[in-house]
Amino acid sequence: MGASPPAVMTDWLVRRATAADAAEMARVHTEGWRAAYRGLLPERHLHGLRAVDRVESMADRASRPDPEAVFVAVRPDGGTGLGAVAVVLPVRSAGDRHPVLPTGELASLYADPAALGTGAGFAVHRAGLDHLSRCGFRYAVLWVLRGNARARTFYEARGWRPDGAGRQDMIGGFAAEEIRYAIALSPAAGS
């Protein structure tokens, strides 16, 4: 008999991450990578990922000032573990900037595989885009592996659209094709 599907939670508690969240963020990131990229990246690379190797970088990310921010979805029932993690920041590459609009980036969004379909990813996604809007960004981009149908469906359902840009990236010694998505951001209320 297969595992039961996860219960859908609509009330994830979302907050800014702190350095104290680093180990759990690294776990979600690592397990999220393994789940998202199984069949898209070499299994040996995915198997070799270790959360402990990401703790320091996660603590650093969580400690950076605005406009960079990390959001985490916390279980509303008081359970342990994070449901999802999202990182937003000013666009990293000049080539990804909109010609006239201030541009932010959804640098990463990973859900704990056990939380897929529960709304955790949606919750941190929304918090990240709201944060970018409050910080004055009016446009955002993200990069996704072309073959990652689950992620592409998730983003497209939330208004993101491929903008025609693509690139080859080396991940674990494997050439991976990525496509860029973009979305217009609404000004935040009161800004």
What residue ranges define each of the domains in the chain, with the CATH number in brackets? Answer: 13-184 (3.40.630.30)
What are the pLDDT digits (tens) for 141-187? Answer: 999 989 889 999 999 999 999 999 999 887 777 788 999 999 999 88
The token duo for 133 is 């809007």
Residue that has been written with the tokens 């080859």 in this structure: 168
pLDDT of residue 38: 77
Residue 13 makes CB contacts below 8 A (sequence gap 6+) with: 73, 74, 75, 76
Please report which helix (H) or strand (E) contains residue 29, including its range: helix 22-37
Percent of the chain with pLDDT over 90: 62
CA pair distance 138, 129, nearest whole angstrom: 10
Statement: the pTM of the whole predicted model exceeds 0.85: yes
Residues of the chain with pLDDT under 70: 1-10, 41-42, 45-47, 79, 188-191
